[in-house]
Amino acid sequence: MAAILLVEPNVAFRRMMEQLLRQSGHEVFGADDADTAGRHMKDHELDLVVTELKLPGKMQGAEFLEWMRDLPPPGDPARVAVSSVPMLSQQEAYFRAELALDGFLVKPFKPSSFRAAVEAALKAAS
């Protein structure tokens, strides 16, 4: 079982992803923005952070991932970025290298693709 933080502003979509992860036996925490996610990270050691690149508030998902790369939180969790902007899929290699990502998904995606990306990221980080 892994401790996973999902940073996703679309509550209905986040709840669906949380349910998929819980069905796989993971402990899941949810956040709608980077500020809330940062507070969760202070209180919990995580194995994985999955974040949307487009977030509300002062800090976007890419900035949040840069912060995690530069000042790794306890446990230095694996990272998966999710994008609601299809054009960003053309920059996947850049995002993986620049943000130290263990996975990258573009919405919409199949639940099986999400599970596979999560499991691959967890495996790569262990």
CA angle 26, 31, 79 (to 5 degrees): 60
Confidence of residue 37 (pLDDT cuts 50, 70, 90): very high
For the segment 16-39, the average pLDDT, to the nearest whole number, is 95
Average pLDDT, the chain: 92
Provide the whole-model pTM: 0.93
Three-state DSSP class for residue 118:
helix
Residue indicated by tokens 């299809």: 86
Percent of the chain with pLDDT over 70: 100
CB count within 10 Å of CB 110 equals 9
Alpha-carbon distance of 49 to 118, in angstroms, equals 9
Is the model's pLDDT at 44 over the cut of 80? Answer: yes
For the segment 27-38, the average pLDDT, to the nearest whole number, is 95
DSSP label at 2? -
DSSP label at 5? E
Higher pLDDT, 93 or 5: 5
**3-class SS letters over 14-26:** HHHHHHHHHHCCC
pLDDT digits (tens, 9 = 90+) for 51-107: 999 999 999 999 999 999 998 888 899 999 999 887 777 888 888 889 989 999 999
Residue type, 42: K
